[in-house]
Structure 1
Amino acid sequence: MWPFSESTWLTIAREKQQHRASEISKVTESFAKTISGDEQYTNASATQIVKNISERKWTAVDVTTAFIRRAAQIQELYNPITEVLFDDALKQAQALDEEFKRTGQLKGPLHGVPMSIKDQFNIAGYDTTIGFSAWCNSPAAKDAHVVNALRRAGAVIICKTNVPQTMLNFECSNPLWGATCNPWNALYTCGGSSGGEAAMLAGDASALGLGSDVGGSLRIPALYCGLYSLKPGAGRISREGAMSSNPGFDAIKVTPGPMGRTMQDVETLSRVLFASTPANDYEGIAPVPYRDVKLPSKLRIGYYFEDGWIRTSPANRRAVQETVDALRKAGHEVVEFELPSGPKALQLFAALTSGDGYQTLQSPVGNDPIEKNLFLITLGPRLFRWVHSTAVWFITNILRDPLFAKGLSNSKHSNLSDFWKNSASMKTMTKEFYDLVWDKYHFDAIIAPGMSCPALPHGGTTRLSPLANGTFYYNIIDSPVGAIPVTRVTTEDVITDEWKSKSDIPKSEGDRVTGSWILNEGVYGGNGKVGVYDPVKMEGLPVGVQVVGRHWEDEKVLAIMHVVDQALGPRGFGPGAWKPKA
C-alpha cells in the first residue's frame, strides 16, 4: 500500500506552497515591491540585457532584482513557479558583476540573463517534483547537464516552473502546485507541459526559458502565450538530469529546447545548448555545435490548413494565411499541399505511450488526486477489455465516428508484438512524409497550424486532449519544429459559412478518414452543445504557427523562423507586450 495517506499528500503540498511563499517574501520584502525603473530591464530582450551589461550601463544585480520583482508579481497572478532560487540568483548575479569588474570579460553569451527552468531539470539543492508529492523533500545532488551549460554561459537561474501531472498533457496543473494560468487571460490555460515557462516569459518575469517536448510541450505553451520556441530534432541536446516518471520510454524521443520572447533570443540559447555536447557519449548526442546557415534569397515553403482530426478554427486558419501572405509579399514561393496521414500521428502516439496502461508513468502519483484533465488520455487502458472493445464498436457503428474510435482503440494495454508493429508504423509514416512531401515538393520548410484552436479554458483538455495531434505529428516523424506568434484572436474570428465550406470534413474515401465529429462538436458546438471556441471570450489570446524542417536541419528552421518573423513585421509580441491589468 502507498505509504502516504490523503492527508499526508495534502500536508506536503501545503508545506511546499508555504515554503515557496516564504522564499519569495524573504527576498522581495528586502526591497520595494516595484520601482519605476524595473521596466527598462524586464522590457529588454536577453540580447539587449547582455549588451547593456557589456557596455557597463546595467549590472547583473540590477537586472536580476527587477526580474525577481516581476516574477513575484506574476506568481501571485498566474502561479507559474515551483522552486524559488531568488536568493541564490542574487548571489550569482553579484559574483558575475564582481568578475566582470575585475576582468572586463563577460562569462558567456548569457551573462546576467535571468532565466527560468522547467521543473523536470535537476538543480543541485532543490527538489524536482514535477507535481508529485512523493518526490518532495528530496533535493537533487547535482545540476542537469543543460543547467550546467546555462551557468557556464552566464545565465542567472531565478526559479523552476510548473508542469502538468505526469507531463503527458498540455494543461498545466497538478495537485502539488495547482494550476498555472495564461497571462493573456487567466480563464485559459498557458499550455503544457512547459506551461510554467510560458507564463513566466509572457509576463516578462524571466528573459529566457528552458523546456522540453515529446508531443508539443515546447510549442503548445509558446503558441498559447505568444512566444517563440524550438523543438530540436532528437539527439541535439543532452537529457542527462531531466527527470521523468517513465525514464525508460524512448519510443518517441523527448528533447529539451529553448523558449523566448524574441527570435534572436531563441537562436542565442540554441547556440549555447547545441554547443554543450557532454563529455560522455552514452546518450548518443551528436557532437555538432551550432552551424550557421546561408539561405537562398527565394525560399520554397509549403503550407496546409488542416491535419484531418479537428477543423482548424477561423483564428488559426487566419494565422496560417497571414503568414503565407507575408512570405509571398516578401518574394518567396509558397505552395499549399495536403498533409499525408494526419490522424495517424495521434493513433500512434496513443498506442506507443499507453503500452503498459500508463502504470509506470503514473506510478509516483500514489494517493495524490488524479487531475481531471488526464481523463481522456488515460481512459482506454482503464476500461475492462470487453468494455473497451464494446465502446470502440459503439463509437464506430452507432455514433459513426471511426476516427475517434480508432484513437480509443489504440489507447490500451499492449504486448511486445504490438509495440514492434507500432514502431514499424512510425518508421513507415516518417518515410511516407519524406517521399510525399520533402522529396516530392523540395520545400525549404513548412508552415503548419500551431493548433486547431487557440488556448483552451481550464478543464478543456479533459475531453479535448486530441487537439495536440497537430504537434504530435512532428514528434512521430522527429522533425525540428519552431513555434512563432502571428496574431491574436479577434471578435471577427467567428464561424461563417465560408469557413464551413473550407473546413468541412471530407467524406471517407477508401481508407482515408479525415475528421472526428465528436471532437469537432467539443470544440465548435453542435446538437445543442456549446463548444469551447468563442472568439468573444478568447479575444486577445495569441495565435501562432509551426515552422517545420527536415531532420538535422534545426539551424535552418531557426533561420527561416527569422525570415517569417521579419516578413510578418511588428505585431504586438515580445518584451513589454504584456501589461498588468488596471
Structure 2
Amino acid sequence: MARSVADVKYACEVFFGLQATVPSAILPPVTYRTDLDFSKPLKIGYFKSDRFVRASPACQRAVIESVEALKGKGHTVEEITPPDMAELLKLFVELSSADGYKTMLSHLQSDKQEPAIFLVTLGPRLPAFVRALSGLLVRLFVSDTTFARLFGASRPRTVSELWESSAARMAADSALQNHLWGQMLNLDVLICPVQALPAIPHGATKTLTPLAASTLAWNVVECPVGVVPVTHVHPDKDALPADWLEQVTPGPVIRPLRDNVVEVQVEPSRMIERAVYGSGTRLLQPLDEPVPVYDAELMKGLPVGVQIVGKPWEDEKVIYVMEVLDEALGERKPGFGPNANENWKASKF
C-alpha cells in the first residue's frame, strides 16, 4: 500500500534484487528492470464482472472508465470472458484449510479470534456429516451449488489429498497463464474489479469473506497485481436496478483444466448475492438488520479502484500501466487522500 503509484514503483526498485545483499526467501531474486521498452501500444484485456458475485454498478463503472481512459492513450482494449473465480477460490480453500487452520489459529493462543475469519474457519470445526448436510441444504433450498462446493472444500485433508490439490493448483496456474498471456489472448495486462463491492460496513466481513475471491484468485496463479483508485461511489450513477436480483442468470467463464481451459456456464452464488444486494438469508446475514450491504446512497463518496493484473515476473509492466492509467484519468476530485471522503460526502449532486 502506498500514497501514489510513484511510491509503489520506488518501493519495488528498492526491494527487487535486495536478496543479493540481504538473503531472504521472500524477496524476489531479480532486480527491478528500468530498461524495458513500453513505446508500443499494449494489448489490454478487461472484464466488468466475474461470475462468482456480480460486481456492483460502482465497480463496473470504474472498469469502464479505466478502459476508456487507456483507449484514449492509444492502447488496444478487448473485453474477455472472466476466469472461473469460484474454481480458483476452491483451490485456495482446499490448500489453506488442509490442516484445519490449526497452524494459523495457533498463533492466537488466548487472544480473541477476529470475527472476519469466522466463516473461513467454520468448515473444519464442524463434524464431517454436519458439513456435508449443510452443503446439501444450501443446494436444495437456496439452489446455490457454488457456495456449497466452497463450504465443503473447507476441511482437513490427508497428505495424498493435499498433493492432489497442489497438483490441481499448478495445473490451473499453467493453463490460465497460457490462456491469458500466451497464444490464445496474448494480453499484456488485464483490468478487472478489485472486488464486487466498494468498502463494506464494519462487521459485515464476518460472513462476507468470500468476496475476497476476486483478489485471492490472482494469488492462486501467482500473478502480480496493482490497484489504482479510479472514481467514487455516486448515489445516482451507481444505484442498484430494482430487478438486480432477478437478473441472476448463468454466464460463461474460463475454467482452467490440467492441460487447457474450457468455457463453461456458471451461475453466481445466490447466497452471497442475496447477502450483499438483498436482505440476506438465515444462513448468511452480514448486518444486524435485513438490509442490502450495497447501498450507493450510504456509500456515497467511497473510493472505487480497479485491479491491473500482469504476467508473473512482469511487475514493471503492471506498474507502467498503473502510471499510464493514473495519468490518463487526470484529477479525480476530491481525490483519495485524507479528508477526501468527507469532502465528497458534503458535496451536492
TM-score of Structure 1 vs Structure 2, range by shorter chain: 0.7 to 0.9
CA contact (8 A) 1:388 1:409 kept: yes
CA contact (8 A) 2:15 2:27 kept: no
Residues 372-521 of structure 1: matches in 2 within 5 Å? 372-439=115-182, 440-492=184-236, 493-496=238-241, 504-506=248-250, 512-521=265-274
Which residue pairs with 1:571 in the alignment? 332
The superposition leaves residues 363-409 of structure 1 with CA deviations (integer Å, 9 ceiling, x where unpaired) of 12233222322221111001111101111122123321100001001
Asked if residue 369 in structure 1 is aligned to residue 130 in structure 2, the reply is no
Q: Provide the rounded CA distance (Å) in 1 between the counterparts of 2:239 and 2:31.
A: 46
Code of the aligned partner of 1:481: V
Shift of 1:566: 1.0
CA contact (8 A) 1:330 1:567 kept: yes
Q: Provide the rounded CA distance (Å) in 2 between the counterparts of 1:409 and 1:579.
A: 40
Change beyond 3 A, Cα 1:508–1:317: closer
Q: SS in structure 1 opposite 2:45?
A: strand
CA contact (8 A) 2:57 2:240 kept: yes
Q: Provide the rounded CA distance (Å) in 2 between the counterparts of 1:416 and 1:397.
A: 32
Code of the aligned partner of 2:8: V
Q: SS in structure 2 opposite 1:447?
A: strand
Asked if residue 523 in structure 1 is aligned to residue 276 in structure 2, the reply is yes
Code of the aligned partner of 1:563: V
Q: Provide the rounded CA distance (Å) in 1 between the counterparts of 2:152 and 2:124.
A: 10
CA contact (8 A) 1:304 1:448 kept: yes
Asked if residue 261 in structure 1 is aligned to residue 3 in structure 2, the reply is yes
Q: 2:301 aligns with which of 525, 540, 547?
A: 540
CA contact (8 A) 1:479 1:551 kept: yes
Which residue pairs with 1:297 in the alignment? 40
CA contact (8 A) 2:240 2:296 kept: no
Report how many aligned residue pairs link the two structures: 323
Q: Provide the rounded CA distance (Å) in 2 between the counterparts of 1:580 and 1:398.
A: 43
CA contact (8 A) 2:303 2:336 kept: no
Gaps of 5+ in 1: 1-258
The superposition leaves residues 344-367 of structure 1 with CA deviations (integer Å, 9 ceiling, x where unpaired) of 121111111111111111112233
Which residue pairs with 1:310 in the alignment? 53
CA contact (8 A) 2:116 2:207 kept: yes
Change beyond 3 A, Cα 1:378–1:301: same
Bigger Rg over Cα: 1
CA contact (8 A) 1:343 1:514 kept: no
Q: Provide the rounded CA distance (Å) in 1 between the counterparts of 2:26 and 2:206.
A: 36
Shift of 1:576: 5.8
The superposition leaves residues 455-509 of structure 1 with CA deviations (integer Å, 9 ceiling, x where unpaired) of 01111111110000000111000001101000011111111269679x7331699
The superposition leaves residues 159-214 of structure 1 with CA deviations (integer Å, 9 ceiling, x where unpaired) of xxxxxxxxxxxxxxxxxxxxxxxxxxxxxxxxxxxxxxxxxxxxxxxxxxxxxxxx
Q: SS in structure 2 opposite 1:277?
A: helix
Q: Provide the rounded CA distance (Å) in 2 between the counterparts of 1:511 and 1:300.
A: 25
Q: Provide the rounded CA distance (Å) in 2 between the counterparts of 1:349 and 1:470.
A: 12
Which residue pairs with 1:349 in the alignment? 92
Change beyond 3 A, Cα 1:508–1:398: farther
Gaps of 5+ in 2: 254-262, 282-289
Code of the aligned partner of 2:89: L
Shift of 1:305: 1.5
The superposition leaves residues 536-571 of structure 1 with CA deviations (integer Å, 9 ceiling, x where unpaired) of 111111000001110110111111111111111111
Q: 2:321 aligns with which of 551, 555, 560?
A: 560
Change beyond 3 A, Cα 1:549–1:527: closer
Code of the aligned partner of 1:523: V
CA contact (8 A) 1:341 1:429 kept: no
Residues 232-311 of structure 1: matches in 2 within 5 Å? 259-279=1-21, 283=25, 285-292=27-34, 293-311=36-54
The superposition leaves residues 205-242 of structure 1 with CA deviations (integer Å, 9 ceiling, x where unpaired) of xxxxxxxxxxxxxxxxxxxxxxxxxxxxxxxxxxxxxx
Q: Provide the rounded CA distance (Å) in 2 between the counterparts of 1:538 and 1:326.
A: 24
Q: Provide the rounded CA distance (Å) in 2 between the counterparts of 1:433 and 1:426.
A: 11
Code of the aligned partner of 1:410: A
The superposition leaves residues 129-178 of structure 1 with CA deviations (integer Å, 9 ceiling, x where unpaired) of xxxxxxxxxxxxxxxxxxxxxxxxxxxxxxxxxxxxxxxxxxxxxxxxxx
Change beyond 3 A, Cα 1:344–1:423: same
Change beyond 3 A, Cα 1:364–1:281: closer
Q: SS in structure 1 opposite 2:104?
A: coil
CA contact (8 A) 1:445 1:547 kept: yes
Q: SS in structure 2 opposite 1:326?
A: helix
CA contact (8 A) 1:271 1:289 kept: yes
Q: Provide the rounded CA distance (Å) in 2 between the counterparts of 1:511 and 1:569.
A: 39
Q: Of the two structures, which has the highest relative contact order with CA contacts closer than 8 Å and spacing of 6 or more?
A: 2
| Percent identity over paired residues | 37
- What TM-score does the superposition give when structure 2 sets the normalisation length? 0.86
